[in-house]
Chains A and B, each alone.
Chain A
Amino acid sequence: MRVWLPPVMLTVLLCALSAGMPALEPLFEWMQPDKQNVIYERESFLFLLQNHLMLVVISALVGTVAAVAGGIFATRPAGRDFLPLVSQIASIGQTFPPVAVLALAVPVLGFGEAPILVALILYGLLPILRNTLAGLEGVDATVRQAALGMGMSPFQVLLQVELPLAGRVILAGIRTSVTINIATAAIGSTIGARTLGDPVIAGLVNGNTAYVLQGAILIGMLALTVDSLFEAAERVWDRRFLPQTAG
């Protein structure tokens, strides 16, 4: 159970910081004595945190399903021919700046959460897909040959052999993707999505560094928390499927 201790502690710290930001008023006043308002109050930090996290989770779920499915398809005998195409699509998603996606998506989808979700999903695909491909390709060919030769169906080989063996690498890809997207989600605030980017944008517009700092600190904390959650999940995975390598 000890592996879950860091993420739990970070979660508590994150929630406490979001709820208790006003308590830090003297600190921010000392930093910026010339401003009347030093604590962002247009929306509660807890609400922004929740909404920010929701955007990341939804985009991660959709992105994971799409990327893992694409990766599995491209490594099957029937889909081999599509392997270059699939990796190209993912690479394009990664090279296309999320800001440009927003600019293109707003006229179609309107302001709010929808365009940023599209941008996050596209932006998060590549790391997951790359790792899915690497993980599946990395499964020892003799293991796959033995599994087939002993009478497993291709579907059983995928479910019982390939995915458990590739899962650790896929999980690492999801971790990278989610961490990147926690930071990227903040730009959603420019098109009316409610995220922890709100105080940052407001601070930039009003020249209020305290606002910027509050948003940035919470985004950073969120990234740390989620990352430690994945760290713990990876350890648990190791213990479950690769016990001989876990110390």
Chain B
Amino acid sequence: MIELKNVTRRFGDAVAVDRINLTVETGEVCVLVGSSGCGKSTTLRMINQLLPHSEGQILVDGNDVTAMNPEQLRLNMGYVIQGTGLFPHWTVARNIAMVPQLLKWPRERIDERVHELLTLLDLDQATHANKYPQQLSGGQAQRVGVARALAANPNILLMDEPFGALDAITRENLQLEMLRIQSQLRKTTVFVTHDIDEALRLATRIAVMDQGRIIQHDTPENILRRPASVFVENLVGKQDRGLKLMSLHTVRDLMEAPPQPREPEPGADGLKEDDSLRVALSIMLWQNWSQVPVFNADGQETGTITRDRIIQEGA
């Protein structure tokens, strides 16, 4: 758990972060969102003390960060930044092994862990482990960045616009990847972005920041339904709020499910349980379907969903 109590950061006379209070519960993803210069990155970097705070108190699992050795504090926090910050003179494997090496793990345990992480992040041991960061694509490099952050199994993950420099398709892939990994590992995560869609997709709770203050701290659904101010309303976008709400829920939430899944008819078209309602509606409108079967990950038919129900209850 991370607690910020009345935390202020000044740069000279300028106030970058103004008396903010924020609690990030264990296992949740807290996304700090706002335009550039709003203090979100500063807030993140105060948590691992790359920037000392001017006033207030920051507690990590109940301990005041100023009382801890900064290296010790950071070794227990995975850190992912935009542009990866991978070490260009080290191979992918050695980059990932960085923190375990600092913690002096035995050789075999490190090798095993690197292999595990390469697999977790869908990187191939044979083709990627001995490459250098410059030889990777942007998406691959950021996967390695995430793997490096997870290497010593930290409780906390700090991510500073990690996917900001990637193209839209790669970014979406990595976001999905992150959701998958987070559902397995349940790290306490603080994630900084200026992209509201990314925030809505990844967050358990979103903290909207403006001019060094937190304007609203709430679940994605509440941010969309009850924006606290005009600023938040503009940030989330007034017009497509309905569609954004739909993208928060999956087909599984609104489908009619028979008691037993059954084998589908061969060649049947349909949706997946994990598709968002927004995707479902889009497909159904395009194909002009009013009702469509839903399949689970194993390809079994687990239910059906109707267009009317999505329109009535989706947003």
Contacts and interface: CB of A to CB of B under 8 A. Distances in A.
A169 to B, nearest CB: 13
Contacts of B43: none
A151 B84 contact: no
A152 B102 contact: yes
B87 A147 contact: yes
B102 A151 contact: yes
Given A142-B83, A146-B81, A151 B71 contact: yes
B102 A142 contact: no
Contacts of A149: 45, 48, 50, 74, 79, 81, 85, 158
B88 interface: yes
Contacts of B98: 150
A70 to B, nearest CB: 24
Interface string A35-65: 0000000000000000000000000000000
A165 to B, nearest CB: 6
B75 A165 contact: no
A151 B89 contact: no
A143 interface: yes
Contact of B84 (A142, A153, A241): A142
Contacts of A147: 85, 87
A244 B74 CA distance: 30
A173 to B, nearest CB: 19
B277 interface: no
Contacts of B132: 243-244
Interface residues of B, number: 29
Contacts of B48: 149
A164 B71 contact: no
Contacts of A153: 71
A156 B50 CA distance: 16
A241 B135 CA distance: 15
- Max chain B CB contacts within 10 Å: which of A146, A164, A165, A242? A146
Contact of A164 (B78, B89, B158): B89
B99 interface: yes
- Max chain A CB contacts within 10 Å: which of B75, B98, B158? B98
A146 B71 contact: no
A161 interface: yes
Nearest to A152: B102
Nearest to A161: B87
Contacts of A161: 87
A145 interface: yes
A243 B131 CA distance: 10
Nearest to B135: A244
B113 interface: no
A145 B81 contact: yes
Nearest to B73: A151
Contact of A165 (B45, B85, B89, B148): B89
Nearest to A146: B85
A146 B84 contact: yes
B53 to A, nearest CB: 16
B222 interface: no
B84 to A, nearest CB: 7
- Max chain A CB contacts within 10 Å: which of B74, B82, B86, B88? B88
A164 B88 CA distance: 10
Nearest to A154: B71
- Max chain A CB contacts within 10 Å: which of B73, B89, B98? B89
A245 B88 CA distance: 11
Contact of A151 (B74, B81, B82): B74
Interface of B: 45, 48, 50, 71-75, 77-79, 81-89, 98-99, 102, 132, 134-135, 148-149, 158
Given A150-B99, A244-B88, A244-B134, 18 more contacts: A140-B88, A142-B81, A142-B84, A143-B86, A143-B88, A148-B74, A149-B45, A149-B50, A149-B79, A149-B81, A150-B78, A151-B74, A151-B75, A151-B99, A152-B71, A153-B71, A165-B89, A242-B89
6 contacts: A142-B83, A143-B87, A151-B72, A151-B102, A153-B71, A244-B132
Enumerate the 3 nearest inter-chain pairs by beta-carbon distance, A residue then B residue, closest first.
Answer: A146-B85, A151-B75, A151-B74
